[in-house]
Amino acid sequence: MSSKKVSFGSLAPKKPERLNITSLMDILTIILIFLLVNYSDVVEEVPLPDYIILPKVQIKSVGKAITGITLIVGKDRWAFDKGETIAFNSFASQREEVMKRAAQGLERIKQEYEKDGKAIELMILADKDVPYKMIDSVVLTAAGVGITAINFVSMRQDI
């Protein structure tokens, strides 16, 4: 066996390498552009009926303005933005009838939007104390008539 010296590096001091921040600046620029495009400081004022109180949202910014079909969901009634109201005493016992009438109303409004070439999107303004089963029924009814773009409206925390 021969003994060879193995060297893993030079003993001479190396010059420190310079930090190349070009790619870091590219990433930061992309993130900045993304945030600027998606950030909106516009607060949309929505007239609310006196029988609902919207839940407070936990995030600081509010998304886009309300467009499309608006459905107001209260404890004892559902109301469309076009003026039609579906009143009931007990949602649990009248669920099928309420969903049927809501489906007819959504279908009628959807056809109007299709004639005008507008995007079909459902905005739900639900009272904060409405049970989840009622919200689930609203979503099922909308999906049943072919409305799949559904958004929920809430109040900003600082309002």
- As a whole number, the mean pLDDT across the chain is 78
Range of the domain at 99: 69-152
Q: Is residue 15 part of a domain?
A: no
DSSP notation for 109-125: HHHHHHHHT----EEEE
Q: pTM of the entire structure?
A: 0.56
- R_g of the chain, CA atoms, integer Å: 28
CB 120 within 8 A of CB 68: yes
CB 74 within 8 A of CB 49: yes
Q: Is residue 11 part of a domain?
A: no
87-121 residue pLDDT tens: 888 888 888 998 999 999 888 888 888 887 777 88
Q: Is residue 28 part of a domain?
A: no
51-85 residue pLDDT tens: 777 666 554 444 555 567 888 888 888 888 777 88
Phi then psi dihedrals of residue 60, to 5 deg: -85, -30
Q: Is residue 134 part of a domain?
A: yes
Supply the CATH number for residue 74's domain.
3.30.420.270
Q: Is residue 8 part of a domain?
A: no
Q: Is residue 41 part of a domain?
A: no
CB 69 within 8 A of CB 122: yes
